A and B are shown apart, each in its own frame.
Chain A
Amino acid sequence: MRADDLELARRCREGDAAAFEALYRAHAGRIFGLLTRMTGSAQDAEDLLQDVFVHAHRKLGSFRGESSLGTWLYRLAVNQCLDRLRGRQVRMARATDSLDAEDAAEPAAAAPALPVAIARIDLERAIAQLPDGCRAAFVLHDVEGLDHREVGAALGISEGTSKSQVHKARMKLRVLLRGMGTMPRGALETV
């Protein structure tokens, strides 16, 4: 696996267009999914995906095989994405304030629960509506499977803030998903 990655990287460095296309085809879907969910914008994700692979092509000389090419590209993508998101920080702060207010207004009374199987397209739409800050933490933690320490390191926040952001995202998603008219209603009877 690692030897294959090193060989692929070597071929890319030497200008093998087929090798670079193979690299793109193998990883573009996962990275585009990450970028789309992190930014909440398909257009931003398309631009970022371009940047990720153009930079990857330039930086492949620094790839030493300590991690897989997939992990190396993934880190590059997260960093590119965070650079983009930092440019939206002011708007993010406003949106997070709004989120807090909405959470506070959420009634505590018992209500129909979400269906056991949430439609993925509904979840994708709901994720896109999250404020940037908690969306990034949610995507890295709940979608990508990073733990809070790793999320904190990636986003430049503390582990506690990561937990807080993920919690906010889950609560906001609950509100959004329950508000979607296309979703069937039902309740889980057991915990």
Chain B
Amino acid sequence: MADDTTLTCAHVAAALDDLLDGRAEHPGRAALEAHVAVCPSCRALVADVRAIRVAARTLEPIEPPPAVWAAVRARVDSGRVAASPLSRLDRLVVWATGWGGVLQPAAAVAVLALLVSSLVWVGTRLGGAPPRLSAGQSGGSAPVEFAVAEAEYSDAIARLEEAAGGAPRGLDPVTNAALRATIDEIDSAIGEARDALARQPGDEWSQDSLLDALGSKVALLQDTVALLGEFDERSEERNP
């Protein structure tokens, strides 16, 4: 370690983690601290990393979306364990329909459980529950970031709606009705979030609500499109 007169910022940077992680036995610690005391750059570095460490230790658990539990329960109930590349709704419905393509009563319950979970999610968001990550913190989406995200979601929704091609084919009437009801609920949430933003532009909670609702619709439409593709493939297999 360099003595006080030859100590540079590079020495501090190299020893930074030892100093902050409490390894007090680090050689030359006193000299390093003396340098930091008189060097604005090193002082800022030490303070920043210390602030990051403190913030990291205060990060809280993140509640998963309700659909995850519905999917776990469905997989456990069905006895399926192996990870599947299919998405959540695929996992439920492909399992539910079985290879005969007939929706079984117990499976229909599982599909509806996911859709109901989405409805619960919508209701929770509209009811003013805290956002998943914010934990009451300031920050939120920057205006440009929010606008870009909203535009991307809206574009994805338009393309997916086109791909879905109107009424879901191949789904039984009960599942079809539940799917439509869920989309309607999400659309309602999107509308309310947009209304709120019209009243209070830049409101973080409304921005988060809108992005969450748009993201939820994208996910549901993606699942629907993939599911329809699955039905089409099976239909071709059965009726070549």
CB distance from B209 to the nearest CB of A (A): 15
Given contacts A121-B134, A123-B56, A188-B44, contact A108 B61 (CB under 8 A): no
> Of all chain B residues, which has the CB nearest A52?
B72
A53 to B72, CA, bound (A): 7
Task: Determine if A108 and B49 form an interchain contact, defined as CB atoms under 8 angstroms apart.
Answer: no
Question: Bound complex: CA of A136 vs CA of B51, how far in Å?
Answer: 19
| In the complex, per-residue mask of B54-82: 1 if CB is within 8 Å of any chain A CB, else 0 | 11111111111101110111011000110
Q: Is A71 interfacial (CB 8 A cutoff)? A: no
Do A174 and B56 have beta carbons less than 8 Å apart? Answer: no
Identify whether the interface residues of B are mostly helix, strand, loop, or mixed.
Answer: helix
B56 near A142 (CB under 8 angstroms)?
Answer: yes
Residue of B nearest to A183 (CB): B139
The answer to whether B71 and A50 touch across the interface, beta carbons within 8 angstroms, is yes
Residue in A45, A113, A170, A182 whose beta carbon sits within 8 Å of that of B44 in the complex: A113
CB atoms of B36 and A191 under 8 A apart:
yes
Q: Closest approach, in angstroms, between the C-beta of A180 and any C-beta of chain B?
A: 8
How far is A112 from B71 in the complex, measured between Cα atoms in Å? 47
Complexed CA–CA distance, A114 and B95 (Å) = 50
Selected interface stretch from A1-9, A26-34, A61-69, A94-102: A26-34
Question: Which of A's residues lie within 8 Å of B, judged by CB?
Answer: 17, 20-21, 24, 28-30, 32-33, 36-37, 45-47, 49-51, 53-55, 57-58, 108-124, 138, 142-143, 145, 163, 166-167, 170, 173-174, 177-178, 180-183, 187-191
Name B's A-contacting residues (CB within 8 A): 9, 16-17, 33, 36-37, 39-41, 43-49, 51-65, 67-69, 71-73, 75-76, 80-81, 83, 88, 133-135, 137-140, 142
Q: Report 23 cross-chain contacts, Cβ distance below 8 Å, ordered by A residue.
A: A32-B61, A32-B68, A46-B68, A49-B68, A50-B72, A51-B83, A53-B72, A54-B81, A110-B40, A114-B47, A118-B54, A118-B55, A119-B137, A120-B134, A121-B134, A121-B135, A122-B139, A124-B59, A167-B17, A182-B139, A182-B142, A188-B44, A188-B51
Having A113-B43, A115-B51, A121-B138, one finds 17 other A-B pairs with CB under 8 Å, namely: A24-B72, A33-B60, A36-B62, A46-B65, A46-B88, A50-B72, A54-B75, A54-B76, A54-B81, A58-B81, A110-B40, A114-B48, A118-B54, A122-B137, A166-B17, A174-B48, A177-B48
